Amino acid sequence: MPKERVEMSKSTTGNDRSKFPVREDLSVAHREMLESFSRSGTWWTGADRRAIAMEARAARDCGLCAERKAALSPFSVDGIHVGPSDLAPEIVDVIHRIVTDPGRLARSWYDRVMAEGALSEERYVELLSVTVRLNALDVFARAVGVESPELPAAVPGAPTRVRPATARIDGAWVPQIPSGEAGGEEWTALYGDREFVPQIGRALSLVPTEVDSLNAVSRSHYMSIDHVTDPAYAEPERALDRMQMELVASRVSALNECFY
Amino acid sequence: MNGTAIDLSAVKDGETDSGVVFGAELLAFTDAVMTRNAAAIEMTRADLQGKLGAAGVVDTAAVIAMFNVVDRIADATGIPIDGGFTRDLRYAIGNELGMDHLTPEERAGR
């Protein structure tokens, strides 16, 4: 695993260099994301999280991933990924697949990853959260015409390693905090008195702090996850109405070959 | 939403007139960003800015970024589709458009 760096550089999103004025809440969310990649989380150190983020960034230009994406089966092509590779090869492979070909991830692949032993369920969920949020940051930068932001140096610290006691398989591949009474105080701590939370809001609940991170991204980039299932809801003071947002969202999902 | 008739074919092909206000500009910019085509990004971004202003560009970029998050989380955790209306709608749209993305059930069985 990569070594931690002691110094902490000042993180900057680069949004201030865009020709397009970026809303303050978006820039705050981006700064928080950037800094979170270099701080220790629940199951990974800051150095590990930073390495995961760097690998996620490199995956987009990986030749092996491009070859796999073009293949009839993404599991039929072997090779070595192009990237910093500061992590175990099995972990690098997971990151690259999530970034470059998520629509063809399958249950049997997930089961193999768990059986290999390089990742636990908890570390997988946290790795996923870091990977996808780094990718989002870079997608946004590309869209508004600025360079991808530099990641701050890793901050020393130990992961908290707290797994929700109620977490169990509840419909997804990964364990989740179950809803209602079964989830008890752990559900209430994350979701208050809500009885229903969309699956996407529960997907990362094995690592509750990553649910909070996803909610922060959702609020600033789209809308609070609480409102997603209300087709009449639109965030105030946005330049896009709900129809326009959903058109863009649906097209992104189609291009990602995502059924959801 | 507002009762406007929408042609969902635009979601699949990116070209059909969706019926959404400035839908063509939104889709063109989305496609350019997703395919990482620098020249197309610049051109479609200028078109979009002409219709929705700089704030429209930023908010579109934000939605594109967001759905690159949620799509991957959904695909990598194998969550099921939420029940009820959402589920019925999602499968109906997929069938109507002939979209052949793997369903959660298919991915669970592979």
Question: Which among A131, A136, A171 has CB closest to B80?
Answer: A171
Question: Which among A128, A145, A229 has CB closest to B86?
Answer: A229
Q: Say yes or no to pLDDT of A248 above 50.
A: yes
Q: Which residues of B touch A171 (CB under 8 A)?
A: 79-80
**Closest-approach residue (CA) in chain A for B42:** A145
Contact A238 B26 (CB under 8 A): no
Asked if A30 is an interface residue toward chain B (Cβ–Cβ < 8 A), one would say no
CA angle A160, A171, B86 (to 5 degrees): 115
- Close Cβ partners of A252 (under 8 Å, ≥ 6 residues apart): B30, B34, B63, B64, B67, B68, B71
Q: Please tell me the distance from the alpha carbon of residue A47 to that of residue A5, in angstroms, as a whole number.
A: 7
Beta bridge mates, A168: A176
pLDDT in tens, B73-104: 999 999 998 876 566 666 666 666 666 677 77
Best residue in A202, A221, A241, A242 for a mutation probing chain B (most B CBs within 10 Å): A221
Asked if B49 is an interface residue toward chain A (Cβ–Cβ < 8 A), one would say yes
pLDDT in tens, B3-58: 666 677 777 777 777 789 999 999 999 999 999 999 999 999 999 999 999 999 99
Asked if the ipTM is above 0.85, the reply is: yes
